[in-house]
Amino acid sequence: MRFETMAIHAGDRPDATTGAISVPIYQTSTFVFEDVGKTRGWDYSRTANPTRKVLEDTIAQLEGGKAGFAFATGMAAETTAMHLLKTGDHVISGNDVYGGTYRLFQDVMPAFGLEFTFLRMDNGKRIEEAIKPNTRMLWLETPSNPLLNIVDIEMVVDIAKKHKLLTVIDNTFATPYFLRPIEYGVDLVVHSTTKYLNGHCDVVGGAVVTTTDELTQRVQFLLNAMGTCASPFDCWLVLRGIETLPVRMKQHEENSFAVANYLKGHPKVKRVLYPGLESHRGHEIAKRQMKGFGGVVSFELGGGIEGVNTFLRKLKVFSLAESLGGVASLAEHPATMSHASMPKDYRKKVGITDELIRLSVGLEHVDDLTEDLEQAFSCL
């Protein structure tokens, strides 16, 4: 099946028991046994749930992986993935990852004996130099949040294979519609399904996709043992969102190109970050490894923080809010919102300046989006 068809038909659909075309929400904690020691295939919803299973199979197929797992949040998915490691292990992570990922790695996991090095993942020599005898995992985010930096996945996977390291990629921004990291040899894919996969800002959720039987068994064990799984209703909402993922992603991208080109020519804008622009540092790699460039555009305003505050207050169609990937356009200020958990000096070092604004370009008419930006600029 092709991607668009899988997005609608993957997994046990229509429902085998009832023929329901919409996957039923099996809103149950437990399942009655047929006999002592004999289930109908399901026993307890933390371990497995039929609604969740359809979502898990769908995401696994869209990513081209072995198995999928659905979690309560993107951070629950990441936390579970980190438990594949053990005390004393070392992880090399991109240094411009989502602020919550950085917080998990910097402020939570070290208490359990994990060690982290944060790097820009664009230089193979730099990555190899950071590898230590206890390094076990390379963690990538591409395009990264909020700088839209691009990692050359094949280059990183080559290094990982040479040193027998596990590669994990956060594919939240690109989605499998634009990027299928497993085709490049990545071992594990994680998602915040809160974003494009759900697409309607009515769920927080996460996912992990595995590539081997060993990883599948381990993630299934951890999900059940740690209880990090998603609820049936949230799974249903994400499933419904995924059905329209291909059409939404195409339109997100078309609108983003228009917004990026509009911003590029604007006298009050210092720089525009969108991997689809030829001027973007990672454009050539993005063009090679992705089918499209996504729906997030970041830019720096000239004129300091006061200008940023005024601009954000004046927006009308774009709402000032955390998150991204929904049908409604959102604007946010990474320094005080999504990346506030990164210390200021660290943000400065990686390039997340106080003047940076991140736009999640939605599916409204693009002229309403550019006109909204224009009227906000005119207030500066």
Ligand X SMILES: Cc1ncc(COP(=O)(O)O)c(C=O)c1O
Q: Which residues sit at the interface with ligand X, rule CB under 6 A?
A: 73-75, 98, 100-101, 141, 145, 170, 172-173, 192, 194, 204, 206
What DSSP state is assigned to residue 290? -
Q: What interhelical angle do 232-243 and 50-63 show, nearest 10?
A: 40
93 or 101, CB closer to ligand X? 101
Reported as half-sphere exposure (CB side, CA atoms, 13 A), residue 376 has a value of 25
Residue 223 CA, distance from chain mean position: 19
Q: Which two tokens stand for residue 33?
A: 């046994």
- Known catalytic residues are 46, 98, 170, 195
Q: How far is the CB of 71 from ligand X (least distance, A)?
A: 8
Burial degree of 191 (CB within 10 A; 0-12, 13-18, 19+): buried
**DSSP per residue over 133-185, as a string?**
TTEEEEEEESS-TTT-----HHHHHHHHHHHT-EEEEE-TTTHHHH--GGGGT
Cβ neighbours for 340, distance < 8 A, ≥ 6 positions apart: 99
238 or 366, CB closer to ligand X? 238
297 or 366, CB closer to ligand X? 297
Name the residue with the smallest CB distance to ligand X: 74
Distance in angstroms (rounded) separating the CA atoms of residues 271 and 334: 16
60 or 75, CB closer to ligand X? 75
93 or 370, CB closer to ligand X? 93
Q: How far is the CB of 377 from ligand X (least distance, A)?
A: 26
